[in-house]
Amino acid sequence: MRTLIIPLTTLTTATTLLAQQPTPSPGVRYDRLLIRNALVIDGAGNPTRGPFDIVVEGSTIASIRPHRADANIRADRVIDATGMHVMPGIIDLHGHIMFSRNREPLPKDYVYKLWLGHGITTIREPGSGEGIDTVVHHARLSAENRIAAPTIIPYAVPGGTTPEQGRASVRRLKERGAMGLKVFVLRPDVWEAVMDEAHKLEFPVATDMKIQEYDALDAARLGVRTIEHWYGIPDAAIPGPQDFPEAYNYDNELDRFRWAGDLWRQADPDRLSSVLDTMLAHNVSWDPTLAVYEVNRDLVRAQNLPWFDAYAMPNLLAFFEPDPSRHGSYHFEWTTNDEVMWRENYQIWMKWVREYAARGGNVTVGSDAGFMYHLYGFGTIRELEFHREAGFHPIEVIQHATWNGAKALGLATTGVVRPGFEADLLVVDGNPLHNLKVLYGTGVTVEENGRMVRRGGVRFTIKDGIVFDAPALLEEVKQMVRQAKQRTAAP
Ligand SMILES: [Zn+2]
C-alpha cells in the first residue's frame, strides 16, 4: 500500500474549493398548524377572499373557513396573519442550483435560502449542472426536511451524438433519479430518438432550443412539455433563415445575444399565429423567462440593483462582469442601439406571450437566475413584474407563478390554496395584487401615519407543511455575504 502524500498547497486549495455544506433545516412541520385571519389569493385565478382561518395538518391543507375571532381551533402552532395575504408557494420552472460561480464556491445553501426567503417552494432544476446524483440527493434531503430548500424537481440533459447513444443516455438518467429531461441543440435523428425513448419512460421534456435545425413546430410535434425562453418560436415563423449580419457567429456570445434581440421583429405575424396554434394543440407550456434578459434593455439598471450589496456573493458579481470566456457575460460592448433594439424586441415578444395565454396556452414563471445580473429569489419576483408588464392582470401573474407551474410539472395537488392540496403556502406582509414588489426580500417602504416604514416581504414560507421564517433565512444569506466579503478583504 502506498502512502499518498498531498502537498500542503494542494490540500489548502482543495479545502477552500469545497463549498460549505448546507446547515440543518430550521423548518418545522406541525400536526396542526393554524393560520388565522388571512386574506387568501388562491392561485387558481379567483379574486381575493377572506378573512379565513386555514388549518394545515402535517403537509396537507385540511380546512379553510371564514375567520371567527371567538373560534376555538386547536393547533400546535398559530400564525396570526391579520393584515396579511396568503397565496400558494411560488413554482420557479427555471431554477439552476449552483454551488460555485467564477470558479469559487458558494455556500451550498446560499441559493436555496434566497429562494425560500422569496416564497419559492418548488423549483424545477433545468439541467442539473451540479450533477444529477447530487441534485437527486439534495431533492431527497429537502423532501425529508434535512436541508432548508424548496421542493426540487431534477431534470437532466441527455448526451450522445447518435440515436442509440441518445436513447441509452435517457435510460441512464431515469435510473439515476432524474424526473425529466432538458434538451438543447441536437441532430434531428438524435432528437427523434431521445423523444421516443422519453415517451416510453414517461419522461417530461423541456427544451431550450437555441438555434438549430429544429424549431418550436418540431418541438411541439415531438411532444415537448415546455419551451424555455423563446428560442425556436420566432425562428419557426421567419421565412427563410434568421437574417443575421454577415459577420455573425453564433459561438461569439456578444453576437449571439445581441442579434437574438432582432428575431421577434423578423418573424411573420401570420406564421407566428399558426406556430402558437400548433404549440397549443400539443399542450406545450411556455416558460418565457422574460426578466433574465432585462440587462439587454437597460444595462446600467441591471448592474446597480439595490439588493446586490447585502445579498450578492462577491464571486457571483464577478461572474457577471463582461468576459468572453463566460456564458452570458457578453456586455463588453453594449450600445444604445442594442438597448433600443431589445426594448422593441420585448414589446413584440410580450405581445405573443399574452396572445398564447389568451388562446388558452399555459404560461409559467421561470427565473434562470445566476446569469446576467439576475439574482436567485429576487430574479423570480422580477419575472412576476415582467408578466405584469406584458399586460397580465396581477391575479393572472400569481396564477402563472403557482397553479400554471404545477400544471406544467404535472403536479395535481399543489399551486392552489385549497383543502386537500399540499400546504405550499406563503404568508405575505402586504398585498401582491396591489404591488408585486412586496414579495421582494428587501420589501417596500410605505408611508404610515406620516412616517416612512419598511413593510413587505414574505413573512413565512410554508413548504409541504414545513414552516420557515423567511426573514431569518434571508438574514443568514446576508451573513454569508458579509463573511465572504471579509474573506475577500483579508490580506
Ligand atoms: Zn437556464
- DSSP collapsed to 3 states, the chain: CCCCCCCHHHHHHHHHHCCCCCCECCCEECCCEEEEEEEECCCCCCCCEEEEEEEEECCEEEEEEECCCCCCCCCCEEEECCCCEEEECEEECCCCCCCEECCEECCCCHHHHHHHHCCEEEEEEEECCCCHHHHHHHHHHHHCCCECCCEEEEEECCCCCCHHHHHHHHHHHHHCCCCEEEECCCCHHHHHHHHHHHHHCCCCEEECCCCCCCCHHHHHHCCCCEEECCCCCCHHHCCCCCCCCCCCCCCCHHHHHHHHCCHHHHCCHHHHHHHHHHHHHCCCEEECCCHHHHHHCCHHHHHCCCCHHHHCCHHHHHHHCCCCCCCCCCCCCCCHHHHHHHHHHHHHHHHHHHHHHHCCCEECCCCCCCCCCCCCCHHHHHHHHHHHHCCCCHHHHHHHHCHHHHHHHCCCCCCCCCCCCECCEEEECCCCCCCHHHHCCCCEEEEECCEEEEECCEEEEEECCEEEEHHHHHHHHHHHHHHHHHHHHCC
Rg (CA), the chain: 23
Give me the amino acid identity at 128: S
d(CA 435, CA 484): 33
Distance separating alpha carbons of residues 42 and 64, to the nearest angstrom: 11
Q: 475 C-alpha to center of ligand 1: Å?
A: 27
- pTM (2 decimals)? 0.95
**449552483: which residue's cell?**
98
Evaluated on CA atoms 167, 168, 173, 179, the torsion sign reads: positive
Residue 88, Cβ density class (10 Å: 0-12 exposed, 13-18 middle, ≥19 buried): buried
- The CA 390 to ligand 1 mean position distance, Å, reads 21
Q: Are 225 and 201 in contact (CB under 8 A)?
A: no
**pLDDT score at 328:** 86
Separation of CA 466 and ligand 1 centre (Å): 28
Q: How far is the CA of 368 from the centre of ligand 1 (A)?
A: 5
The CA 93 to ligand 1 mean position distance, Å, reads 10
Cell of 127: 439541467
- Ligand 1 mean position to 228 CA, how many Å? 8
For residue 96, the CA-to-ligand 1 centroid distance in Å is 7
pLDDT value, residue 10: 39
Contact predicate 209/185, CB 8 Å: yes
Q: Are 156 and 175 in contact (CB under 8 A)?
A: no
Query: What pLDDT digit, counting tens, does each position of 65-98 carry?
Result: 999 999 899 999 999 999 999 999 999 999 999 9
* pLDDT number for residue 334: 95
Cell numbers that stand for 7 in this block: 502537498
CA of 126 to the centre of ligand 1 (A): 6
Cβ-count burial 264-284 (b if 16+ within 10 Å, e if not): bebbeeeebeebbebbbebeb
7: number of Cβ within 10 Å: 8
Determine the residue type at 300: V
- Positions of the chain with pLDDT lower than 70, given as ranges: 1-18, 491
CA of 440 relative to ligand 1 center, distance in Å: 22
Task: Show the domains of the chain with their CATH numbers.
Answer: 90-409 (3.20.20.140)
Distance from the CA of 442 to the center of ligand 1, in angstroms?
25
pLDDT of residue 491: 67
Count of all residues that appear for the chain in the document: 491
HSE of 187, CA atoms in CB hemisphere, 13 A: 11
Determine the Cα–Cα distance for residues 467 and 419; give it in Å rounded to an integer: 18
CB neighbour class for 288 (10 Å; exposed up to 12, middle 13-18, buried from 19): buried
Distance between Cα 371 and ligand 1 center (Å):
9
Q: How far apart are CA 266 and CA 242, in angstroms?
A: 8
How close is the Cα of 208 to the center of ligand 1, in Å?
A: 8
CA 364 to ligand 1 center in whole angstroms: 14
174 CA distance to ligand 1 middle (Å)? 21
State residue 489's pLDDT score. 82
The string of pLDDT tens digits covering residues 281-307 is 999 999 999 999 999 999 999 999 999
Determine the pLDDT at residue 74.
95
